[in-house]
Structure 1
Amino acid sequence: MTSSENLADVSATVHRHSESSGERPALAFVQDPAVPSSARWWTYSELDREARAIATHLAARLEVGSRVLLIYPPGGEFVTALLGCIYAGMIAVPVSMPGKLGHARRRVLNIAEDARVAMVLSGDPIHAEIQSWAATSGLEQPVIPHASVATHDDPIAAPRPAGPGTVALLQYTSGSTGDPKGSVVTHQNLVVNAGTMARTFGFDETTRSGSWLPHYHDMGIGVIMPLLLCGGSVVLMDPAVFLRRPVGWLTLISTYRVTFSASPNFGYELCCRRVSDEDSTGLDLSSWRHAINGSEPVRSSTVREFTRRFSAVGLRPEALVPSYGMAEATVFVAASPDRPAVIARFDREALADHLLRPAESAGDARELVGCGRPRDLDLRIVDPAGRLRGDGEIGEIWLRGASVVPGYWGRAEATSHAFNARIGDEDGFLRTGDLGAVVDGELFVTGRIKEMLIFRGRNLYPHDVEQEVRLHHELLKHGNGAAVAVPAENGAGDAEDHLVLLHEVAGRPLPDELAATATAIQETVVREFGVRCQQVVLLRRGGVRRTTSGKVERSEMRRAYLAGELRPLFDSALG
């Protein structure tokens, strides 16, 4: 299958695979990638049977179109629950586990309330925990354990038919805890995006994806659903196992002959840093055709180092594929596989003026990694007045096409603003909020509009500042940072905002070492960017908040800084 024309709706397509190739492996969850016997497999027939059982239970209790909150630990049961909801004509709402932290628990509750869920399905190992969370949170909807719906004596014979506009799931993206927005993902969105990925990456029945990504994240679902729709197979592992021992991901790829796998940049960086040459012994990455790098800015240093480090165990130089995508476009937007990554050097001063111009010397350069060309989407670069920008001119990235979702659940005003942008007589464009430019057909993403730093008319991208200081200062090398703008004490407005750098440090440095590093960081920022870094706040590892996919939550870090919630090891403002 290499075309969306071969796909019906999501549930009918998976059901058809169970009828035509029922004994073919569809899904596995691996407890320990180094131990093949730790894998639990589902064939397409078993996947379909469990989904039909779940759908039968749901249809007996809920009206078609009801929202069902899915709270599952890592495992294949989440996939059967997701398909069961879709088979029954319900709307799945995948979320993370509430956990113990207050903001995480509030976020899940706010999603449940925003989606107006009618039921909660929970994984069996965490059912008691989820029941307790629901009771203490005041959530009145029933919390049903997976085991009670996973089998049925008389399941429905086939999934409920769905049209192109039938809503399959709500994908809540990382954002404000108190104001979550759910992207409305239809059957058409999933089918079209899967077809686009199939054509771009050559998916067919022999393709196998492997993933450590959180299953409720858009990128996590994005390596599961397209493969099942295309008749391939999916091998999953626990994200916590990867974070503890990153070589586990590479072992998964090697052992199960994975051909397609994806990660944000930090996953590749973690492998470079924590997978030793000894760990790599015995790995064979020659099956890995497409190693997708997306969901956050792609660092040129990571691309080079990962390719260099693992070429010795079979990784091909063209395997690493920088990409661009977002939940509002289902997941996948742009990539150009089967070629070495494009790394270009652009003039730093021109970049501050919203232009991508080749640098004349290395000292004046900022490296950017190309994300390939858009696939099956109309992509435009637009200035704040809604005018088209030319080749190499930076503006907001706008998208239009069948992979773009209809809008945000229950948010008419936000939907109208984000999804109905106009360029002249053309309408229906999605404002992505991302900044970028197209150079000779190649998309370069430069940052987020809401995170842009402007000091006395000079534009700075926060990840550029963060990456530059990591290059120059050993204590910061393997940590995360957030460069933010905060109001000056005199409240003078945006032009007088101060630059503050919040950054993690490694190890347990002495106070004098922290003080010297903070001073050196301020000197680096002035030298490299021509602006003053008013304050440097150094934090313990884990002090910079990130989303489940690894993105730095700069807005949340700015809020925490202003609210006085950070617990710094060193603050240059205090000395």
Structure 2
Amino acid sequence: MVDLLGARCVSEVFELHARERGDRPAVAIVGDPADPASAQVLSYAELDQAARTVARELLQTCPAGSRVLLLQPTSAEFVASVLGCFYAGMVAVPSSMPGRYRQDRERVRGIAHDAEVACVLTTPGEQEEVLAWTEQHGFTVPVLPQRIDLTLPADDLRPYDCDQHSVAVLQYTSGSTSAPKGSVVTHGNLLANAATTAAAFPLEEGERFGGWLPNYHDMGLMGLILSPLLAGYGTALMSPSAFLRRPRTWLQLIDNFDIALSAAPNFAYDLCVTRLSEEDVRGIDLSRWKYAVSGSEPVKASVLNSFAARFGTTGFRPDRFVPCFGMAEATLLVSASPRRTPVVLRCDAAALEQDRVEPATGDDAPAELVSCGEVLDMDARIVDPRTLRELPSGQVGEIWLRGPSVVHGYWRNEEATGAAFDRRVGGEGGFMRTGDLGVLIGGELYVTGRIKELMIIRGRNIYPHDIEHELREQHPQLRDAVGSVVSVATPEDDEGRLVVIHEVRRRSPDEELAQLAARLRSTISREFGLKAHSVLLMRRGGVRRTTSGKVQRSTMRELYLRGELEPLWADGYRPQAAPTASGAGES
């Protein structure tokens, strides 16, 4: 395997792969996971040639060091465009497509403005949409449609002389709790994290990574594209929308394309359990799936257990699960569990609410924490976010990290960079504040939630995802739907009151929705000892999510406080232009 840590830059590694393993498949773009013949496959030599073609056009358009906005769906053109940016000495800025909705278009506009992009790369199929978007927002930069054409000569192009300190990617955060910020990812960050990934997930010749994650998300770009390709593995990619429409296609991809590692958030595993019938499962072989990575959102033990039980007949085993922790500010991978049956701590729920992890005792329902394994190639500390002092093992606090995969800051955002990076704890510097809460026990990391999403109610620390998960588990009307539990301060109670905002599977009469809301209140009271101040039942799409599927709880809280939500049914809520009781919105 190539020495990733010894390479000067990413381009150097891909040039080496093109020379030494040029005929090996690098990337497969899969149109129909049920039909292996539908895939568009590029070898390492072909990918190198396509990247050089992109680099040539970029250098004819803008100078080295420019930021290039990538508005491309999952495609061979996208992979070639990312590498083309590296070959041209430019900075790749991957983004979701502008789309139809104002919030999505505004997010892309914000990224383009913040990065001060010099040009946009897209594909012929998306060119019209992208041009309309640039015209709407007054962008005058060139829009260059890319098409893979291996007949174009590019051998004479010499890649730009980058080094490990050169900026490679601006990876904009998903914005689940704040406005998107661009993590400045260098060539050295990419090489270090790829080396960590390759060591954590060794593959045999012919095995590859693959999945459906969005190519502009860190888990998709770094985890399923750049890291495996840098390590010399192949990858097979399918459309995220194909998975969301038919979750079975993900499992077909794993079966038909010899996928040894595929990663997804917790909700994707849950979706496979709830949406696939016995007929859907019949004929699928998952016995070659070595690493079923679960990350990007809290890993639920009940979901892992349900998935393993549901797909045991396909050859899938529980020891294939790999709970992980990662983030864009650490390039991607921070920790990973070894191949084993997931380790689950059954904790005293009351103690956890006071930031202590203690064994569960008595008859009360325990809180379950899933181990994300040891922190890999980084130094991790658990720090009290208020006092900024390091906490002992068994105490929940903010996760702080330092290491070669940790980026040095956010693009041209001194305030956010100063708040999060180069922090000191225990007399040592160079740490990054992650904003995530967790605990180290026996050298392994257990993640409990996000600081900004933690709710403090009556002096208790409550994690919203725990309540959301329990509601979906106990109420079929909420399955396959998204919810957001938030706390709001009121004049009567400045500590915060619990608000439930949840989509329902289908519109029902007001009486049925009222009965469902009452049952939700009862569940919250019974399972958590809490009172729901307000319950809002929403149509599909009513709960805001990021481009990677994370619930935007902060956004939902603000919309609630401004009275801008349009529920199908609500109580204890005063929308701006709707009645306060049932029928507070139209389908």
Q: TM-score, normalised by structure 1?
A: 0.96
Offset at residue 113 of structure 1 (A): 0.5
Aligned to 1:208: 208
* Aligned mate of 2:441, from 422, 439, 442: 439
Equivalent positions of 1:149-228 (< 5 A) are 152-175=152-175, 179-203=179-203, 205-221=205-221, 222-228=223-229
Q: Structure 1: which 5+ residue stretches go unaligned?
A: none
Aligned to 1:522: 521
Aligned to 1:261: 262
Larger CA deviation: 390-399 vs 3-12:
3-12
Offset at residue 9 of structure 1 (A): 1.6
Q: Structure 2: which 5+ residue stretches go unaligned?
A: 573-579, 582-587
Aligned to 1:460: 462
2:338 pairs with 1:308: no
Offset at residue 227 of structure 1 (A): 0.8
Offset at residue 402 of structure 1 (A): 0.4
Contact 1:54 1:151 in 2 (8 A): no
Measured against aligned partners, the alpha-carbon deviations of 1:405-444 in whole angstroms (never above 9, x if no partner) come to: 1110001121111012110321111100001101222211
Offset at residue 123 of structure 1 (A): 1.3
Aligned to 1:570: 569
Aligned to 1:411: 413
Aligned to 1:138: 138
Aligned to 1:557: 556
d(CA) in 1 for partners of 2:177 and 2:294?
Answer: 26
In angstroms, what is the RMSD of aligned CA positions? 1.8
Question: Which one-letter code corresponds to 2:514 in the other structure?
Answer: A
2:340 pairs with 1:339: yes
Q: Evaluate the alpha carbon distance shift between residue 334 and residue 178 of structure 1 in structure 2; reply closer, same or farther with a 3 A threshold.
A: closer
Aligned to 2:585: none
Aligned to 1:241: 242
Measured against aligned partners, the alpha-carbon deviations of 1:371-418 in whole angstroms (never above 9, x if no partner) come to: 111100101100021111111100000001000011100011211110
Q: Evaluate the alpha carbon distance shift between residue 412 and residue 505 of structure 1 in structure 2; reply closer, same or farther with a 3 A threshold.
A: same
Offset at residue 146 of structure 1 (A): 0.9
Offset at residue 178 of structure 1 (A): 8.8
Q: Evaluate the alpha carbon distance shift between residue 403 and residue 169 of structure 1 in structure 2; reply closer, same or farther with a 3 A threshold.
A: same
d(CA) in 2 for partners of 1:499 and 1:120?
Answer: 44
Offset at residue 454 of structure 1 (A): 0.8
Q: Evaluate the alpha carbon distance shift between residue 240 and residue 58 of structure 1 in structure 2; reply closer, same or farther with a 3 A threshold.
A: same
Larger CA deviation: 434-443 vs 105-114:
434-443
Equivalent positions of 1:476-495 (< 5 A) are 476-489=478-491, 493=494, 495=495
d(CA) in 2 for partners of 1:133 and 1:248?
Answer: 31
Equivalent positions of 1:80-159 (< 5 A) are 80-147=80-147, 152-159=152-159
Q: Evaluate the alpha carbon distance shift between residue 509 and residue 62 of structure 1 in structure 2; reply closer, same or farther with a 3 A threshold.
A: same
Contact 2:269 2:303 in 1 (8 A): yes
Aligned to 2:360: 359
Question: Which one-letter code corresponds to 2:392 in the other structure?
Answer: G
Q: Evaluate the alpha carbon distance shift between residue 275 and residue 342 of structure 1 in structure 2; reply closer, same or farther with a 3 A threshold.
A: same
d(CA) in 2 for partners of 1:236 and 1:443?
Answer: 30
Contact 1:2 1:199 in 2 (8 A): no
Aligned to 1:251: 252
Contact 2:176 2:553 in 1 (8 A): no
**SS in structure 1 opposite 2:434?**
strand
Offset at residue 504 of structure 1 (A): 1.4
d(CA) in 1 for partners of 2:297 and 2:312?
Answer: 24
Equivalent positions of 1:20-59 (< 5 A) are 20-59=20-59
Question: Which one-letter code corresponds to 1:341 in the other structure?
Answer: P
2:549 pairs with 1:547: no
d(CA) in 2 for partners of 1:56 and 1:274?
Answer: 46
Contact 1:288 1:315 in 2 (8 A): yes
* Aligned mate of 1:448, from 437, 447, 450: 450
Contact 1:537 1:570 in 2 (8 A): yes
**SS in structure 2 opposite 1:224?**
helix
Identity %: 49
Question: Which one-letter code corresponds to 2:165 in the other structure?
Answer: G
Contact 1:110 1:178 in 2 (8 A): no
d(CA) in 2 for partners of 1:71 and 1:289?
Answer: 32
How many residues align? The count is 572
d(CA) in 2 for partners of 1:516 and 1:550?
Answer: 29
Offset at residue 94 of structure 1 (A): 0.3
**SS in structure 2 opposite 1:223?**
helix
Q: Evaluate the alpha carbon distance shift between residue 2 and residue 471 of structure 1 in structure 2; reply closer, same or farther with a 3 A threshold.
A: farther
d(CA) in 1 for partners of 2:185 and 2:151?
Answer: 27
**SS in structure 2 opposite 1:305?**
helix
Offset at residue 151 of structure 1 (A): 6.7
Q: TM-score, normalised by structure 2?
A: 0.94
Measured against aligned partners, the alpha-carbon deviations of 1:104-149 in whole angstroms (never above 9, x if no partner) come to: 0011011000000000111111101101110111111111111399
